[in-house]
Amino acid sequence: MLFNSLEFAIFLPLVFVLYWAFFAEKIKSRNIFFIVVSYIFYGWWDWRFLFLIIISSFVDYYVGNKIVASKSKKSKSYFLMLSIFVNLGFLMFFKYFNFFIDNFHDAFSFFGMQFNKRTLNIVLPVGISFYTFQTMSYSIDVYREKLKPTKDIFSFFAYVSFFPQLVAGPIERAVNLLPQFYKPHKFNYSEAADGMRQILWGFFKKIVIADNAAVFVNDIFSNYTDYNGSTLLIGGFFFAFQIYGDFSGYSDIAIGTARLFGFKLMRNFAFPYFSRDIAEFWRRWHISLSSWFKDYLYIPLGGSRGTKAKIIRNTFIIFVVSGFWHGANWTFIAWGAINAMYFIPVSLRKKNRKNIDVVAKGKILPNIKEIFQIGFTFFITIIAWVFFRADSIKMAFDYLKRVFSKSLLSAPHIGYSFDIGQVVPIYMVFLLIFILVFVEWFQRDKQHGLEFSEKTKPIVRYAAYFIVLFLIVLFGNFSKTEFIYFAF
């Protein structure tokens, strides 16, 4: 079920009323209720893939208790490997099977060896990369003795399938989310009201920013050979805001929805395009995934300790694996490798923890140096995004080659030869992006764009809500476009 659908507009209020009327203070009934509504939410897409969530949930529930019950470290390791094998096994089969078959075939063909290539018509289950990582981290934390396993199977199944973040995150840790299923909840008006504001801002980013930018992005990238360098640069710029508006918009809706039910999910985005270096960007972009790889891959490999060669190795591994997590295409691996090359000089000079605080804290505008740093970081991020969006590595290089040609100095133009129906004009998309950046700049020390303190005058708050609603109604793309990260 899509957040930006009529079905969800009916589903959410109904679940909200039933929850607070009958289930909020009854722990067992509440958790069963969440399992049922979450399975309905997920099964609305394709009920057949519910069995993957059920199997993954049962395996890690079983593994967690078996790890604690085991007497020897060898036995504990065996059960941990069972969790990793099942979760990564599902992920590798559904997401990467055909990728490996195709590449093995190409490799053998290169050396003159032929074999019959057999690929399968595999449908990628929505959200599989998210919930498998979430369940697997539970088993790892139990193995590391950072978390006691739960005996309450309903709490665990509810934790895994919790519908606000089931499909596209944030990738929650059991230490944060699971205990929230152990206790009754009481309605908190201020939390729920701020949750609604966060949902509203998420819809603005998705429907107004991402989906309108996508119309031009899709045309430019699909017909990039027809456009000059300045237009292609606009395509990269728009895609940067499309993917940000789409994914961070989903996270805002998910976090805000969870708050309506008294649950607190981890923050997933912290205004990443205001970052002053690439290390700061990765602390602010898809925080739940970045921190997951840091805790469960980068640090176990040695992190930033040891020789420079090991630091470079570990950095490449975490970024390449992160890229591969996004999809079975060499473009994602290249995107990860490019970000690794951005990150390594910062890490080797031990500057990766330099910009921790909010940029220009306590000031209205950044200084000249900060403007340059933000602009440069955003620019190199766009270059990397071209690889993420392109169909192939060859296309990405060709696209960038055309960007940095003499035609970059030519006036941009956007073709309308494709059937797009009614489209928001390109100048208006620029203006809407400016509004997004303007609001988030002045809210950069907050959790989201519409967060207000108690000192804020009601007239200011309600004016902001009205303006955002007005922009959604007037400029929103209501074509029920899927979220980009559903594909991951």
Predicted pLDDT at 353:
84
Query: What burial class does residue 375 get, using C-beta atoms within 10 Å of its C-beta: 0-12 exposed, 13-18 middle, 19+ buried?
Result: exposed
Nearest Cα residue to 269 out of 318, 323, 205: 205
Convert 137-182 into a string of H (helix), E (strand) and C (coil). Answer: HHHHHHHCCCCCCCCCHHHHHHHHHCHHHHCCCCCCCHHHHHHHHC
- Which pTM value belongs to this model? 0.92
DSSP 3-state assignment of 231? helix
Report the length, in residues, of the chain.
488
Predicted pLDDT at 60:
95
Q: What is the pLDDT along the chain (488 residues), one digit of tens a residue?
A: 788 888 999 999 999 999 999 998 889 999 999 999 999 999 988 888 899 999 999 999 999 999 999 988 999 999 999 999 999 998 888 887 766 666 555 555 555 556 565 655 666 778 888 899 999 999 999 999 999 999 999 999 999 999 999 988 799 999 999 999 998 889 999 999 999 999 999 999 999 999 999 999 999 999 999 999 999 999 999 999 999 999 999 999 999 999 999 999 999 999 999 999 999 999 999 999 999 999 999 999 988 888 889 999 999 999 999 999 988 889 999 999 999 999 999 999 888 888 889 999 989 999 999 999 999 999 999 999 999 999 999 999 999 999 999 999 888 886 544 444 457 888 899 999 999 999 999 999 999 999 998 788 888 899 999 999 999 999 998 887 778 777 66
Q: At what angle do helices 229-260 and 426-442 cross, to 10 degrees?
A: 50
DSSP codes of every residue in 236-262: HHHHHHHHHHHHHHHHHHHHHHHHHTT
C-alpha 10/C-alpha 2 separation (Å) is 12
Query: For residues 138 and 178, is the Cβ–Cβ distance under 8 A?
Result: yes
What does the DSSP 8-state code read for residue 122? P
Nearest Cα residue to 208 out of 5, 457, 479: 479
C-alpha 435/C-alpha 424 separation (Å) is 15
| Residues of the chain by 3-state class (helix, strand, coil), percent to 5 | 70, 0, 30
Predicted pLDDT at 464:
93
Q: Can you tell me which residue has the tokens 């299923």?
A: 181
**Distances in Å between the alpha carbon of 290 and those of 69, 286, 310, 338, 341?**
32, 6, 19, 16, 16
Tokens of 47: 């009920």
Known catalytic membership, residue 326: yes
Q: What count of other Cβ atoms lies within 10 Å of the Cβ of residue 204?
A: 27
DSSP codes of every residue in 79-100: HHHHHHHHHHHHHIIIIIHHHH
From the list 105, 286, 326, 448, the catalytic residue is: 326
Predicted pLDDT at 149:
93
Predicted pLDDT at 417:
40
Predicted pLDDT at 374:
97
Phi, psi of 263 (to 5 degrees): -110, 145
C-alpha 18/C-alpha 29 separation (Å) is 12
DSSP 3-state assignment of 454? coil
Predicted pLDDT at 420:
46
DSSP 3-state assignment of 367? coil
C-alpha 362/C-alpha 356 separation (Å) is 15
DSSP 3-state assignment of 328? coil
Predicted pLDDT at 168:
81
